[in-house]
Structure 1
Amino acid sequence: MNAGDTAWVLASAALVMLMTPGLAFFYGGMVRSKSVLNMLMLNFIALAVVSVLWALYGYSLSFSNDAFSGLVGNLDFATLKNTMGHLVGAASPDGKTPWPGPDAIPALSFVMFQLMFAVITPALISGAIADRAKFWSWTLFMALWVTIVYFPVAHWVFNFNGYTGADNKGGWIANTLGAEDFAGGTAVHINAGAAGLALAIVLGRRVGWRKDPMRPHNVPFVLLGASLLWFGWYGFNAGSALSAGDLAATAFTNTTVATAAAVLGWLIIEQIRDGKPTTVGAASGAVAGLVAITPACGFVNPLGALAIGVLAGALCALAVGLKYKLGFDDSLDVVGVHLVGGLVGTLLIGFFGTSSANPGIAKDGFFFGGGFSLLTKQAIAAFAVMGYSFIGALVIGFLIKVTIGFRAARDVEVAGIDEAEHAESAYEFGGFSGGSVRGTGGKAVDGAGSAAVLEGSKA
């Protein structure tokens, strides 16, 4: 066991965990003030629900021995049995060390690292249905979607033969198809973006969409959230090397330069199209670059990362307008940023991939003499995940809609979903501070303990 690699993987898991609260701030700043708490909760609840499901059966379905044709794992690791005191990544009996190696790490460090990927993926979807989703309906959707869609797709993409056990067989994309996805362009971003599109269709448009401005209520929140995402993304990408070595440094470098280039790409499009570069645009461009470089960061050189970043920033900036042309209300541009960005990054590996970035593992793309073979594999992987996620989310979302209901009532949406769903508001505008609704029958009590004065001031 390599103690340095173990420390890096555990630190990376903590960085990726921070991305979910960062996403909550990013999304929360972009919604209106009357629904910011609901948006925060739709993200934060993922940490609770997915963590429990991951421990019960999610890790096993994703990373145990294949149960059926590379599509899903079995239950050998259910309740995390056979993980405590065990290692992953050790050399196989034939003397070859499974990627990424080169040394073994405790199985539970890998379990926790991959958990954080499973947490943030459904949280990404929530931005597509901001301002109008019932909290418990969303929670049920998330539990079903990660079980039916995310855990199998993680098995397809991340479960390499022999990594979690010398005799373990993994998923079809990683092992049979041989497509390249270093940190989750398909399993995380295309997966979430396709599901977001499906849910936007199921729930329908917000009241006042296209008529009311629906501007971000707190732009500093947006930039803070994007900055936390950028910081945490180093764990997401460089941590996926699963070792503290040259490959992690390559992924770290590519993540930095691609994200920086994407900010510039997005802002240039805004300047040409709208005449002004915006703060929200800079934050969104950074996220678009992070999304696009995720699958490619361990398979391209820095020049390729720059190209992927600037193309992703520009293309995602153009793609966010598609919802107005096609008529679907993707509230916070999950489709334009995560689906399109994920597709851009995954497919461009077929052009910019180079074996020099990851010798013995990476394949050469078109610009490095590899022809179109790698691009074909990348396209099959990307569109397979997109189709499966879209159909899965569409069916699950529709079933919830016709049973317990998914969308908040019209008057609740207009008045503000925070009060109806959570009995709270993000901001108190009555002039008093230190208020709490707990134990007061729903009346906020000021610092002096006078509910009557506060109620009178509101009236």
Structure 2
Amino acid sequence: MLMMLPGLGLFYAGMARSKNVLSVLTQILASIALICVLWTAYGYSLTFDGESSPNAVIGGTSKLFLAGITPDSLVGTIPEYLYMLFMMMFAAITPPIIVGAFAERMKFAAVLIFMGIWLTINYIPMAHMAWGGGWVFNVGVQDFAGGNVVHLNAGIAALVCALVLGPRKGYGTQMMAPHNLTMTYTGGAMLWVGWLAFCGGCALAASGFATLVMLNTMLGGAGGALGWMAVEWFHRKRPSTFGLLSGTIAGLVAITPACGFVGPGGAIAIGFLVTPFCVLFVESVKRRFGYDDSFDVFGVHGVAAFVGGILTVIFASPGLGGLGYAEGRSMLSQMVPQVAIMGFSILVSAVTTFIALKAADVLVGLRVDQETEFEGLDTGEHGEVGYRLGDGVYGGAPVPLHEAQPVLQPAMSVSKQH
């Protein structure tokens, strides 16, 4: 919850232009609420009911609306309600990550339709295959806390969304710098705090191993922050706050699959080494191909998850301080299924995302009209504004459109990578 509502919300909202700050927050909040209800209705059952209808791709229906679960029900040694709640948090944070790719131009109704369909045809089968007894679980991939199901999945979906929706009006010719880096910093800091439980909780116990997972998570973020700072300092001769935040998130994404398989030294190395790849995609590849991934979801989550998955196998080696491989496996034999399953995840994410987008397009259309995009989604879609000139932060009733005031943005030094 810390990662989702204040964390991701503020992190993304600060990166938006001031006229779209509330639209980003609203899309994230509404998506989370929708997903929590859908997860309770059928998501948990279709993901983790592997007993009533054993299936390699999707779970059963015996736990629809949490049927049969009582306060005494257990998953291992923990209450099943607690397990359901923890996994609901995973389900609820994954689709909203994609918001950062289509921010400032997608209809609110289309966002909700997309989220519901994507959860159903993408996340639930992916989670069942990896965690709920499906075929991917039996392959033995080293992905401790959702590098594939969460971050690679959302990162590829973000790229597809950016390509299908097309760039924002004025992209490449108008200034689209973050309107409030202080807000982004606050959200990024909350993400880092919450990430400790995101990964550590996957141990499903309060133990020394869970503590190692949390330590690795902390150090992965630290390594990422220093790595991005080093690249930026060398390249531009000065580091930026935005760069440190971007590197922290990249490091946390990269350590997510690795946190239960590597040692603390390996965690630092993974976070540090992944950042040059992310910088390359954020600054060069995106510009080269001209796609508008608004907040660089693909460049950070997608790229860091893929590179982190490869580095996981390397630094799991006992010679590098890792915890080793399954019996009979070497680094090479572990790398083969690792890369193959990441390739499978990329394919599934691309296809299901395209289907979900097209369904939303048919039902309500994807993009807001040009006037709404120019005016801003806050007023055009929600009839309210985040800021009013001379009044500070606006927190009252919706403002009539003719009264909405533009915001004077202070001059600021902003890193060019976004």
Global fold match (TM > 0.5): yes
1:374 to 326, 330, 334: 334
The corresponding residue for 1:107 is: 80
| Inter-partner Cα distance in structure 2 for 1:364 and 1:76 | 33
Using the TM superposition, give the Cα deviation of residue 252 of structure 1 relative to its aligned residue in structure 2, in angstroms: 0.8
Could you say which residue in structure 2 is the equivalent of 1:140? 113
> What is the RMSD of the two structures over their aligned residues, measured on CA atoms?
2.4
In the other structure, the counterpart of 1:327 is 290
Contact 1:29-1:219 at 8 Å conserved across structures:
yes
- Select the structure of larger CA radius of gyration: 1
Q: Does the alignment pair 1:350 with 2:323? A: no
Q: Is the 8 A contact 1:226 1:287 kept in 2?
A: yes
Give the unaligned 5+ runs of structure 1.
1-15, 91-103, 160-169, 445-453
List aligned pairs for 1:287-306, cutoff 5 A: 287-306=249-268
Contact 2:16 2:177 (C-alpha < 8 Å) held by counterparts: yes
2:75/2:83 contact within 8 Å kept: no
Q: Select 2:352's aligned residue among 373, 389, 392.
A: 392
- The percentage of aligned residue pairs carrying the same residue is 38
Which amino acid in the other structure matches residue 290 of structure 1?
L
CA contact (8 A) 1:19 1:228 kept: no
Task: Tell me what 2:97 maps to.
Answer: 124
Q: Which residue does the alignment assign to 1:63?
A: 48
Residue identity opposite 1:281 in structure 2? G
Equivalent residue, structure 2, for 1:51: 36
Q: 1:230 to 1:431 in 2, by over 3 A?
A: closer
CA-to-partner distance for each residue in 1:114-159, whole Å, 9 max, x for gaps? 0001011001000000110111110110001001100110111122
Instruction: Report deviation, 1:274.
Output: 2.4
Aligned partner letter, 2:127? A
Q: Does the Cα contact within 8 Å between 1:132 and 1:408 map onto a contact in 2?
A: yes
Is 1:20–1:123's contact at 8 Å kept on the other side of the alignment? no
Deviation at 1:442, TM superposition (A): 7.3
Q: How does 1:87-106 map to 2 (within 5 A)?
A: 87-90=73-76, 104-106=77-79
| Aligned position for 2:414 | none
Q: What are the Cα deviations for residues 19-46 of structure 1, in whole angstroms up to 9, with x where unaligned?
A: 3420010010011000010011111112
Question: Partner residue of 1:410?
Answer: 370
SS in 2 for 1:172: coil
Alignment partner of 2:304 out of 334, 341, 345: 341
The one-letter amino acid of 1:338's match is H
Separation in 1 of the partners of 2:392 and 2:330?
A: 66
Tell me how many residue pairs correspond in the alignment: 402
Match of 2:381 in 1: 421
Q: Secondary structure at the match of 2:331?
A: coil
Structure 2 residues without counterparts, runs of 5 or longer: 406-418
Secondary structure of 2:36's match? helix
- SS at 1:136 equivalent: helix
Q: Which amino acid aligns with 2:90?
A: F
Partner of 1:10: none
Query: Which amino acid is the alignment partner of residue 348 of structure 1?
Result: L
Work out the CA distance in 1 between the residues paired with 2:156 and 2:74: 32
Normalising by structure 1, we get a TM-score of 0.83
Residue 235 (1) aligns with residue 197 (2)? yes
Q: CA offsets per residue over residues 392-450 of structure 1, 9 Å max, x none?
A: 11122123224311111112111111101111100011548877336x97798xxxxxx
Partner of 1:245: 207
SS at match of 1:295: helix
Residue number in structure 2 paired with 1:75: 61
TM-fit CA distance, 1:250: 0.8
Identify if the C-alpha distance between structure 1 residues 150 and 427 changes in structure 2 by more than 3 Å, giving closer, same or farther: same
Q: Distance in 2 between matches of 1:364 and 1:154?
A: 22
